Amino acid sequence: MIDEIAEDEPLAPFQRWLDEGWRGEPNAHAMTLATTAPDGRPAARVVLLKGLDARGFVFYTNLESRKSRELFANPYAALSFLWKSLNRQVRVEGPVEQVGDDEVDAYFASRPRDSQIGAWASDQSRLLESRAELDRRVEEFSRRFGAGTVPRPAYWSGFRVVPQRVEFWQERPFRLHDRLLFVREGEGWRRERLFP
């Protein structure tokens, strides 16, 4: 079904597509995050969208992970959402900023306890000798925090991709797809239609 996007900004239609995506896909909030290493080599991985507002698209991670190191070196990223059940895709590009501590703390507190323990147990992106080592670390941090509150590790935070370009793609027959691009201009957006 083609959505004739009438809005002059991209966030409302994005939210509508995300909501529709949840009806057909269990991980509709999964997005491919592309970063660049200091040597210019691109890297991509799937992360989960955990926040969206007028400021941008938020995800959380270990600040010592490869993706974080790349974002600190080059604070720009690209995101791609694919909802195959809807034959739709959205691409987002823009600068990246770190999420504030209050927002990070609130999100960390909302996570399941096992995920909170996992944030302590995992040295994300570093070498792991065996799965048994990870299991041992999970047990160690589970004992350390007992039944009490699990505090957020200082190295666990979030990033916000501030959208400057947002492209909506809808599949159409005969490869005559529909592409609508929003480009940030000051406080507003410019709409452009692209050839498929």
Hey, is 109 helix, strand or coil? helix
pLDDT confidence of residue 20: 96
Catalytic residue among 41, 131, 143, 175: 175
Residue 1 has pLDDT above 80, yes or no: no
Task: Report the mean per-residue pLDDT for the chain.
Answer: 96
Residue 148 has pLDDT above 80, yes or no: yes
pLDDT confidence of residue 184: 98
pLDDT tens digits along 124-139: 888 999 999 999 999 9
pLDDT confidence of residue 126: 87
Position 165 confidence tier, pLDDT thresholds 50, 70, 90: very high
Regarding the domain delimited by 11-108+154-194, which CATH topology (the fold level of the hierarchy) does it fall under?
Pnp Oxidase; Chain A (2.30.110)
pLDDT confidence of residue 3: 87
**What type of residue is 51?**
G
Question: DSSP for 25-60?
Answer: -TTTTEEEEEEE-TTS-EEEEEEE--EEETTEEEEE
pLDDT tens digits along 77-125: 999 999 999 999 999 999 999 999 999 999 999 999 999 999 999 988 8
The model's pTM is 0.94
Please, where are the H alpha helices in 84-176? 101-110, 113-121, 131-145
Q: Where are the domains of the chain?
A: 11-108+154-194
Percentage of residues in the chain having pLDDT higher than 90 = 94
pLDDT confidence of residue 36: 97
- Is 131 catalytic? The answer is no
